[in-house]
Structures are given as C-alpha cells and as structure tokens.
Amino acid sequence: MYKSMETIIKKAEILIEALPYIQKLTGKTVVIKYGGNAMINDELKNSVMEDITLLKYIGVNPVVVHGGGPDINKALSNFNIKSEFINGLRVTDSATMEVAQMVLVGKTNKEIVSLLNQKGGKAIGLCGIDGNLIECEQYTTLVDGKETDLGYVGKITNINSKVLDIIAKDEYIPVVAPIGVGKDGRSYNINADTVAGEIAAYLKAEKLMLLTDVEGVKTSKDSKEILSALTIDEVHNLIEDKIIQGGMIPKVLGCIDALEKGVGRTHIIDGRIPHCILLEIFTYKGIGTMIMKDKVLYHNNEKL
C-alpha cells in the first residue's frame, strides 16, 4: 500500500513538473517534423500520436510535417523505378515524382491523419498544393563545383501560412505532406526537415521539433553524453571543431535558420524513445538537444 502511494505521489510530481511548460505553451504553436523509425515502429507510432493529441487537448497548437522515405522507396521498388540520391536529396524525375506524391499525399499523410483521429484528435491532411500552401521553384545543388538539376525537387519560395494558422488555432491538427507547387502548377518533392523549418518560421512557432534516429548533439565524436542546450554561437563552434558532422550539420543549420526567422526554441530529439515529445517539452532537462538564440529560462527550475 505504501509503495503504491509513493508511485501515485511520483506521478503527481511529474504532472507538477510539466505545469510551468503548459502555462508557457498554452495557445502557442509547436511544429513537429515526424520521420525516421518513429514512422515505422507501431509502438512508437502510437506514442507519437498520443503525445500530439495530448498537446492539443492541453491548449498547445501542434502542426505536423511528415517525411516518408521508406514508403517511397518501397513503392518505387514495386514499380521498378531506381532510386538515386545526390547530396542526400532524391533525384526526382517525372515518374519518381508521380510515385512520391501518390505515396506521401495518398498513403502516408492519410495514415497519420487516421491514427491521430483514432487517438481522439481532429486531424486534417494537407500538402503544399492545397491553397498553394508551399510555393517553390526548382532546386539545384553543387556537384564538383557545377550546378546540378535534381529534377522535381523544390526550393521553397513562400509559405501561405494563413490556412495552417486558422486550422491550428481552431480544434484541428494540420498534417502536412512535403510536396510543393511551382508557378507552372507542377508538383515538387521537398525535404521534410526544410518544410518543417519554413512552416515554423512563417507561423512564428514557439517550438520546432525534429524527430530523428539519433539521441541529439554529443559532447564529442565518441561520447555518449548529449548536450541538452546550445546557443547558435555554440553550434557554429561545434561545427568548426568537427564535433557536429555529417547528417547532423543540415539539421542544426535548419534549426538556426528557424531561430533567426523568429522561432522561439528548436529541438533535435530521438524519435526512437517512447513519448519523446512529452519528455522533451515537459521535463526540466529534456531528452534531446535544444538549440536557442540565447539561454533564456522558461522558469527557475529549468536546467539548461
């Protein structure tokens, strides 16, 4: 009986720890980039959907942007279409674009909407074509010093965020597939991290959260210790010192870009941890790496 009471009291303490964060975030927008293993593992899928639904019910306005690489790869394989990547981006000819749009908008997006609705949320699926939500132009990248065309890969030129703002501030949860539209009316595939960052910036979101398959930024290349909070200057120093390397560089630079455009805080968190969103947002220390302009506390007990 005594141990049972201790457990109950501990649960109450966890709720009290979350209180100042709930007070700070009520009515604010949180943009969540959903991808990686959290989209593949059923247990993790459920925990992410529960986290997002809970955010909505306590007064936070979540906006979800999702990837879908594994689903696209599987569909392309079924159609015997070869996948090719340059500088981490998928080369997207017309056939690949048709499959990517079919999968992202028609399958992945609707599955996420359905899962959120099953948890009691009211989700609405969108892509960049809807209301010209994501306007873009063709993206090129440097290969051996030359501008290289990647096909129907988009570079965002504008986010028509009004529709997202209206939906998110009402009782609904917008779920956005990373497909943009060009001036010619053609569809373009866009990196989901980029879409999430730009949407967060246009909405002046309080938080941008990137769910990844890594724990966060580590103290050194071989360390297991995670840096829980970094400023923009500290991130640049870590890149210069080659502590931040490889695929982590575009993620942290995307966070910095969002901060410089008005987002309050950005987070890189491990989507392989159940209820990772709640653990990062509502605990004093969090579980991933938070990047911010300056280390300004939400409240005195916060540990940065």
Tokens of 23: 């007070």
For residue 262, give every residue at least 6 positions away whose Cβ sits within 8 Å of its Cβ, in sequence order, or none: 201, 204
Q: What is the pLDDT of residue 3?
A: 62
For the chain, give every domain's residue range: 21-292
Q: What is the pLDDT of residue 273?
A: 92
Please identify which residue in the block is written with the tokens 């220390």. 285
Q: What is the pLDDT of residue 295?
A: 85
Whole-structure pTM value: 0.92
Q: What is the pLDDT of residue 134?
A: 97
CATH superfamily of this structure's domain 21-292: Acetylglutamate kinase-like (3.40.1160.10)
Tens-level pLDDT at each residue, the chain (304 residues): 556 778 777 788 888 888 989 999 999 999 999 988 788 888 999 999 999 999 999 999 999 999 988 889 899 999 999 888 887 788 899 999 999 999 999 999 999 999 999 999 999 999 999 999 999 999 888 887 888 888 999 999 999 999 999 999 999 999 999 999 999 999 999 999 999 999 999 999 999 999 988 888 888 777 788 888 999 999 999 999 888 887 788 889 889 999 999 999 999 999 999 999 999 999 887 889 999 998 887 877 777 7
Tokens of 137: 């132009």
Binding positions for substrate are 68-69, 90, 189
Sheet with 229-231, side-by-side order of all strands: 123-127, 173-177, 61-66, 29-34, 207-212, 265-270, 289-292, 229-231
Q: Are 245 and 254 in contact (CB under 8 A)?
A: no
Q: What is the pLDDT of residue 201?
A: 95
Rounded CA separation 200/210 (Å): 11
Task: Look at residues 235, 242, 137, 252 and name the one whose alpha carbon lies nearest to residue 186.
Answer: 137
Helices (H), the chain: 2-25, 42-57, 69-78, 94-103, 109-118, 162-169, 192-203, 232-240, 248-260, 276-281
Tokens of 85: 């990547």
Binding positions are 68-69, 90, 189
